[in-house]
Amino acid sequence: MAPIAENKGKPIRNGGLHLATSDICFKRILLATDFSSPAAQALKMAITISQLFGSQLVLAHAASPFVYENETEPMSREVFNVTLDAAREEMSQIISSEPGLSALKPKTIVEYADALELIEKVALEERVDLIVVGSHGGTGLELLALGSVAEAVLRRARCPVLIVGPKCKAEQHLFRSVVFATDLETTGLRGAQYAAALAERGRGKLTFLHVTDKIVRDPNLRTELVESQLEQELRRLLPPDVERYCKSKLRIRYGQPAEAIVAVTRSEDASLLIVGLRSRSPMADHSPWSTLSHVIREVNCAVLGVRSHLV
């Protein structure tokens, strides 16, 4: 992957940095599957990206034996083997039945493991540049406490993560309309680099979005001036030659971030939403993650999470 400009954790507003165009290449892609419908959609997306970049594709599945509620005796080796063989057979059927997948000659990994632990292990061992995973879009106390496996991967992964949510539509031209959402403080430069590079590859439309719920209360400050300042900060994230390869747009929206982001992705007919991720800590501020969780459940396109700095 080409070097990426970073802000080293400093607020963009103090950096004054500009980006140059840089090629992004996903050489090795991990698709984590539980054989569900969202996982099937995620697989189609992973195939599309692998074909576009000439990537090596790795398919991983965390198997778990069926356990009866009143089971007290340890599972026999035969039961474990049967379950594992069944999972491997299902993986083989997916490869043979999915158009374009066999030609990619994917590496497959099926093991007894916790799903999140297996994804982290395979991503590290295979040195992947991108993880692709489907999300069921769960709600309730379980999601509030931890989040789905997909969102847990998003929190902890070292590389970018592409999540295919429950309302995500099939997309043949993934980079035709890229929306990048940033808070302009901690999630800008690296995500902007990916957004610009991928929009360039797709010769598509690029929209930089900032959502604020702060209302101008100072009578000496006009809304137009505040918006102008925010637009300038957004523009600093654009490569200077961006108009040579794609149409770019800057958008400032007021209101709740999750609702505004979803609305803009729909109005821009987004094929991909890119968001910056701030911290790998599972104890990080819950608010940004609940916003992202809502966005993943509601947007009609895939969501690419990009860490704000290399870790």
pLDDT of residue 117: 93
Q: Which amino acid is at 240?
A: P
Mean per-residue pLDDT, 222-247: 83
pLDDT tops 80 at residue 298: yes
pLDDT tops 70 at residue 185: yes
**Do 28-164 and 169-307 show the same overall fold?**
yes
To which residue do tokens 């997306």 refer? Answer: 45
What is d(CA 30, CA 246) in angstroms, rounded to the nearest whole number? 29
Instruction: Extract the tokens encoding 206.
Output: 């690029």
Instruction: Extract the tokens encoding 216.
Output: 């101008």
Which letter, b or e, does each residue of 119-157 get, where b requires 16 or more Cβ atoms within 10 Å of its Cβ? bbebbeebebbbbbbbbbbeeeeebeeebbbbbbbbbeb
Residue 143 binned pLDDT confidence (cut-offs 50, 70, 90): very low
pLDDT of residue 71: 54
Q: Are 24 and 52 in contact (CB under 8 A)?
A: no
Helices (H) and strands (E) in the chain, counts: 10, 10
Contacts of 217 (CB under 8 A, 6+ apart): none
Lowest mean pLDDT among 92-101, 146-155, 167-176: 146-155
Return the CA Rg of the chain: 21
Q: Which of 246, 181, 172, 174 is nearest to 210 (CA)?
A: 181
| Of 175 and 279, more confident | 175
- Tens of pLDDT, residue by residue over 90-113, are 999 999 998 889 999 999 999 999
- Tens of pLDDT, residue by residue over 22-62, are 578 899 999 999 998 889 999 999 999 999 999 999 999 99
Domain boundaries along the sequence of the chain: 28-164, 169-307
Taking the CA atoms of 285, 6, 117 and 111 in sequence, report the sign of the dihedral they define: positive
Instruction: Extract the tokens encoding 186.
Output: 């901690």
Distance of CA 89 to the CA centre of its chain: 29
Mean per-residue pLDDT, 176-190: 86
Distances (CA, A) of 231 to 44, 207, 259: 36, 12, 20
CATH topology of domain 169-307: Rossmann fold (3.40.50)
pLDDT of residue 62: 92
Instruction: Extract the tokens encoding 33.
Output: 């599957």
CATH topology of domain 28-164: Rossmann fold (3.40.50)
| Of 311 and 158, more confident | 158
pLDDT tops 80 at residue 79: no
What is d(CA 96, CA 131) in angstroms, rounded to the nearest whole number? 22
What is d(CA 268, CA 100) in angstroms, rounded to the nearest whole number? 29
Task: Give strand pairing partners of 61.
Answer: 110
Residue 64 binned pLDDT confidence (cut-offs 50, 70, 90): confident
